[in-house]
Amino acid sequence: MKHVIMIGPASVSKGGIATVIANFEKTFNSNEVRIHHIASWKEGNPLFKLWMFLKAIMQFCYLAITRRISIVHIHTSQRGSFYRKVMFIQLARIFRAKVILHMHGSRFGIFFDNQSPWLQKRIIRQLNQLDHLIVLSEAWKTYYENLCDTPVTIMENAVQVPQANPYNNQSKTIVTFGNVTKEKGSYDLLHAIHSLGSTYQEYQFIFYGIGDIENAQKHIHENQLTNVTLGGWVESEQKQTILDSALLHILPSYHEALPMAILETMAHGIPNISTNIGGIPQIVQNKQNGILIEPGDTDTLEQAIATLLHDETTRDEMSQKAHEAVQAKFSIDACNAKWEQFYQQL
């Protein structure tokens, strides 16, 4: 049996990486591969975060000594997340385990470009020490292949997919999952809602997530957006109820890899309006199972919302295609089978 150490944020943490790890914890089951999960980060004060990091190092060393570890699978993004994971790359090398770096960061390219030439060389050196890089889209595969010499493989995120499409085409609730920030297009969406005016006042727009809450609430109040609510962070047990009652999901981001929010909503047959960036076009097919726009194009965003709210038939057709697309390529079972094969071949 192959023993794999998986390192990343605690599965109960906020964010897409934690959701991916939670899916591994709940669903990955193999007679040939055993995954040992180590949480290296969790929300809290700086001392708590430092303790989580040091504890993860101790757990890593204990497992590496007491088990014959074959692979270290490290989840990371950019900035501090990447620099913290360098320690585990070095430890894996000491214990002669193969190292996979699973890149989730949608802004890694910006992060890399903002580093000094000396740090850029250090980052490339770390990437070249890896046995494999995992990315979420073809665009990111090309990026890392041009940046370093390590083999790169695309492994898409995956979600639980209901057997039957549960979409509620009569709902009046429109949702967006993710941090409430300019980068996620939150203010572009607020601008589009304002431009729609009273025409679609019966529809409630709910922004689920953390982030720039105070400024967003101020914007909502100043523009008298009475049909907009900030729903806060959603725990996993709450999400099912929300997904069962959402008409549309809107994520007009400026930077993304392959958002779990899009996969989760499409798995429930919810049509998406999103942007033509990162790995999103791999799953959202424009005017087939959703609508894609350019980041920052608030006029087209407004038109897309109006189009789908006006056309029940189009929503229903997109819903069926969205559910089928995720079921065919992004289901948990299909993804776990790919991971088991990957681990075995590495």
- Measured N-to-C along each axis, helices 260-267 and 16-27 cross at an angle, to the nearest 10 degrees, of 60
Starting at the edge strand found earlier in the chain, the sheet holding 33-41 runs 33-41, 2-9, 69-76, 98-103, 132-135, 152-154
Per-residue pLDDT tens over the stretch 155-172: 989 899 999 999 999 999
The answer to whether residue 132 sits within a structural domain is yes
Rounding to the nearest 10 degrees, give the CA dihedral for residues 173, 210, 325, 252: 80
Answer yes or no: is pLDDT of 198 > 90: no
303 is written with which tokens? 């038109």
Answer yes or no: is pLDDT of 236 > 80: no
Q: What is the pLDDT of residue 66?
A: 93
82 and 197 in a single domain? The answer is no
* Of 205 and 258, more confident: 205
Total domains in the fold of the chain: 2
137 and 64 in a single domain? The answer is yes
Answer yes or no: is pLDDT of 132 > 80: yes
The answer to whether residue 199 sits within a structural domain is yes
User: Minimal CA–CA distance to 10: which of 42, 51, 54, 46?
Assistant: 42
Q: pLDDT tier at 173 (50, 70, 90 boundaries)? A: very high
Q: What is the pLDDT of residue 336?
A: 94
110 and 221 in a single domain? The answer is no
Give the range of the structural domain holding residue 125, as residue numbers without chain letter.
Answer: 2-158+331-345
Instruction: Report percent pLDDT > 70 for the chain.
Output: 100
Residue type, 74: I
If you average pLDDT over residues 313-331, what whole number do you get? 95
131 and 37 in a single domain? The answer is yes
User: Minimal CA–CA distance to 71: which of 1, 152, 176?
Assistant: 1
The answer to whether residue 164 sits within a structural domain is no
Q: What are phi and psi of 234, to 5 degrees?
A: -110, 125
Report the phi/psi class of residue 41: left, alpha or beta, with left for phi > 0 and alpha for psi in -120 to 50: beta
Q: pLDDT tier at 15 (50, 70, 90 boundaries)? A: confident
98 and 233 in a single domain? The answer is no
The answer to whether residue 103 sits within a structural domain is yes
The answer to whether residue 166 sits within a structural domain is no
The answer to whether residue 293 sits within a structural domain is yes
192 and 325 in a single domain? The answer is yes
If you average pLDDT over residues 32-56, what whole number do you get? 96
335 and 325 in a single domain? The answer is no
Distance CA 199, CA 218 (A): 23
